[in-house]
């Protein structure tokens, strides 16, 4: 039976909390209830990243009686409190509000680099805006030509906007979006780590995807392990997923021309299109359509009919009509989808959250039926989701209108954090000698703090797989070899862990020289 989580909103100063009876899905270590409302300004939480220290950075346009701002960010501590050093001084504390040189530009995406720097992307006037901050929120003036900002006019004289940003392992920055020339054109652009266009990608760093007679937008982006780039959007109301080789050329192994289109099974045209993408560990691709449909594609772009028996499923199940905005893949390959469900009145709606198993069937361990509705305030929608280093799903969006103490603010942001499920996961990696040669036959041992042990043995190429260990725990991983000495390592396992590799410290004393 569907369960709704009802919150009594209690607002104090700039922070509003919700008190509820304990629910297993809500992480009550977050703000005491698992939920909070951002009350300092209109702030719609369009996208987020979670830093390695579990701090949450949210981005949106925002506004107060003092004015409107296109690029705004809030950072929360792991307990849900505001991170006081991050933001403007009073009276604009808690939120960074930036005035940028191009009127009408709005932030839409954020990414985090391996060094902790934050990359924000948006636009909406005549240029696409990319800016970079240090981890503390200060502008990184080494980026771009305008003291931390780079702006690019892909189609002169047209409106354009970067929608999502992705940081490659080599530090290069990918941005997906669209330009409006009367009909939309999807683009993907790649910047070097200093903010200059990467001339080795596409044509001068830019690739445009034109579908004659159709709008083609870019709303989502994902990166495969082989470096190929996926961009999701719309193709005149149908769903569009394009795939590019690392150099920006369309990948002909993806449905023959690099472009895959498919329709909403309901027959409805969806001009938002594919709003979220993810690549599973086996290379198959999950694609979320805004109008409440979740697809899975094979590595060649064909629809994977093993997913929920026909390749797609309703993204947010339950009574009423739902809109889906984002999803994340969590421990054990589980899929958590977030969005909103209209309620009983025109100004009432709720967060809706659903969780599915790897094959697309509902995860009945989640709220007993696979989904929950969360009543945060009055007028709620969940726009974005992320998984923190502890394996917990963080969800953010809007929450209500007419909230005190700012009754004239049309809406405010909200954040919910869910508990992390404990499910079987696996650790994979490779074991090599000091010279980088594979070490076969090494015994891998994972030990938790209660003394439970899981073992594996490396294959002739040095690879190992430790399977069926519970997520949400720390493990000490050791390697035993007749030929080499290895140092133990400790790993907190929130999700499946790939490429957890070991390099030998030295040969075992007296062992024969390895050639």
| Span 61-118, pLDDT tens digits | 887 666 778 888 889 999 999 888 787 666 566 777 776 656 678 899 999 999 999 9
Cα separation, 386 vs 388, whole angstroms: 6
**170 CB contacts (<8 Å, ≥6 apart)?**
none
Question: Per-residue pLDDT for 379 more than 50?
Answer: yes
- Residue 256's contacts (CB-CB under 8 Å, 6 or more residues apart) are none
Amino acid 400: pLDDT: 67
pLDDT at 274: 97
Residue 11 has a pLDDT of 23
Closest of 253, 247, 335 to residue 296, by C-alpha: 335
3-state secondary structure of 250: strand
Residue 8 tokens read as: 């009594």
Of 8-22, 105-119, 245-259, the poorest mean pLDDT is in 8-22
- In angstroms, the CA 201 to CA 353 distance is 38
Please state the domain extents for the chain: 424-507
* pLDDT at residue 401 in the model: 52
CATH class of 424-507: mainly beta
Query: So what's the pLDDT on residue 17?
Result: 34
Rounded Cα–Cα distance for residues 399 and 37 (Å): 7
Report pLDDT for 145.
Answer: 85
What mean pLDDT value characterizes the chain?
Answer: 87
In angstroms, how far is CA 138 from the centroid of its own chain? Answer: 23
Residue 6 has pLDDT above 70, yes or no: no
Q: 14 pLDDT exceeds 50? A: no
What values do phi and psi take at 420, rounded to 5? -85, 130
What value, to the nearest 5°, has the Cα angle with vertex 373 and ends 371 and 374? Answer: 130
Taking only the tens place, the pLDDT of each residue in 281-312 is 999 999 999 999 999 999 999 999 999 999 99
450 contacts: CB under 8 Å, gap ≥ 6? none
pLDDT band at 513 (very low <50, low <70, confident <90, very high): low
Q: Which among 425, 424, 492, 426 is positioned nearest to 464, based on CA atoms?
A: 426
Mean pLDDT of 355-360: 96
CB 81 within 8 A of CB 20: no
Higher pLDDT, 215 or 377: 215
For the segment 401-406, the average pLDDT, to the nearest whole number, is 42
Query: What does the pLDDT read at residue 38?
Result: 81
What are the tens digits of pLDDT across the range 148-203? 999 888 777 678 899 999 999 999 999 999 998 777 899 999 999 999 999 999 99
pLDDT at 22 over 60: no
pLDDT band, very low/low/confident/very high, at 229 (cuts 50, 70, 90): very high
Cα-based distances in Å from 375 to 10, 157, 223, 318, 465: 14, 43, 34, 15, 42
Quote the pLDDT of residue 500.
98
Overall pTM surpassing 0.75 (yes/no): yes
Query: In a 3-state reduction of DSSP, which class is residue 331?
Result: helix
- Pick from 3, 9, 2, 4: nearest CA to 399: 9
* Six token digits for residue 54: 């579990």
Q: What is the dihedral of CA 200, 203, 207, 210, to 10 degrees?
A: -160
Per-residue pLDDT of 411-441, as tens digits, reads 578 999 999 999 999 999 999 999 999 999 9
User: What strand order describes the sheet that includes 8-12?
Assistant: 8-12, 15-19, 35-38, 413-417, 393-399, 380-387
Spatial separation of the C-alpha atoms in residues 54 and 440, rounded to whole Å: 37
Average pLDDT score over residue span 196-215: 93
Q: Residues 133-160: pLDDT tens digits?
A: 998 888 899 999 888 999 888 777 678 8
């Amino acid at each position: 039976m569907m369960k709704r989580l009802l919150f009594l909103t209690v607002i104090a100063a700039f922070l509003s909390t919700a008190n509820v009876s304990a629910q297993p899905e809500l992480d009550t270590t977050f703000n005491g209830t698992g939920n909070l409302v951002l009350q300092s300004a209109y702030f719609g939480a369009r996208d987020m990243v979670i830093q390695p220290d579990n701090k949450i950075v949210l981005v949106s346009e925002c506004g107060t009686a003092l004015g409107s701002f296109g690029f705004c960010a809030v950072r929360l501590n792991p307990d849900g409190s505001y991170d006081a050093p991050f933001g403007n001084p009073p009276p604009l504390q808690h939120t960074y509000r930036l005035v940028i040189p191009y009127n009408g530009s709005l932030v839409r995406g954020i990414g985090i680099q391996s060094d902790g720097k934050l990359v924000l992307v948006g636009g909406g006037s005549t240029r696409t805006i990319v800016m970079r901050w240090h981890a503390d929120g200060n502008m990184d003036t080494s980026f771009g030509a305008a003291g931390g900002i780079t702006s690019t006019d892909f189609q002169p004289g047209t409106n354009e906007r970067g929608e999502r940003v992705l940081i490659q392992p080599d530090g290069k920055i990918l941005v997906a979006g669209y330009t409006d020339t009367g009909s939309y054109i999807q683009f993907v652009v790649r910047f070097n780590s200093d903010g200059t266009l990467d001339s080795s990608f596409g044509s001068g760093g830019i690739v445009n995807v034109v579908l004659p007679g159709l709008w083609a937008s870019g709303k989502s982006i994902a990166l495969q392990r082989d470096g190929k780039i996926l961009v999701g959007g719309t193709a005149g109301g149908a769903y569009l997923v394009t795939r590019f080789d690392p150099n920006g050329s369309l990948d002909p192994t993806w449905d023959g021309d690099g472009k895959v289109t498919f329709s909403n099974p309901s027959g409805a045209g969806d001009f938002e299109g594919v709003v979220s993408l993810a690549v599973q560990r086996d290379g198959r691709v999950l694609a979320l359509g805004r109008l409440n449909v979740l697809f899975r594609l094979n590595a060649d772009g064909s629809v994977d009919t093993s997913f929920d028996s026909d390749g797609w499923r309703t993204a947010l199940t339950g009574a009423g009509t739902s809109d889906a905005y984002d999803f994340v893949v969590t421990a054990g390959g589980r899929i958590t989808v977030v969005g909103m469900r209209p309620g009983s009145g025109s100004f009432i709606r709720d967060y809706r959250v659903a969780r599915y198993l790897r094959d697309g069937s509902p995860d009945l361990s989640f709220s007993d039926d696979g989904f929950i509705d969360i009543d945060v305030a009055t007028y709620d929608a969940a726009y974005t989701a992320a998984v923190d280093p502890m394996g917990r799903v963080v969800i953010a969006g809007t929450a209500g209108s007419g909230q005190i103490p700012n009754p004239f603010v049309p809406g405010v942001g909200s954040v919910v954090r869910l508990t992390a499920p404990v499910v079987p996961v696996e650790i994979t990696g490779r074991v090599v000698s000091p010279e980088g040669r594979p070490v076969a036959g090494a015994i891998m041992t994972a030990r938790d703090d209660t003394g439970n042990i899981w073992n594996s043995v490396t294959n002739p190429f040095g690879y190992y797989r430790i399977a069926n260990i519970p997520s949400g725990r720390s493990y000490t991983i050791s390697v035993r070899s007749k030929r080499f000495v290895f140092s133990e390592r400790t790993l907190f396992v929130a999700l499946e862990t790939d490429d957890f590799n070991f390099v030998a410290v030295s040969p075992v004393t007296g062992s024969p020289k390895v050639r």
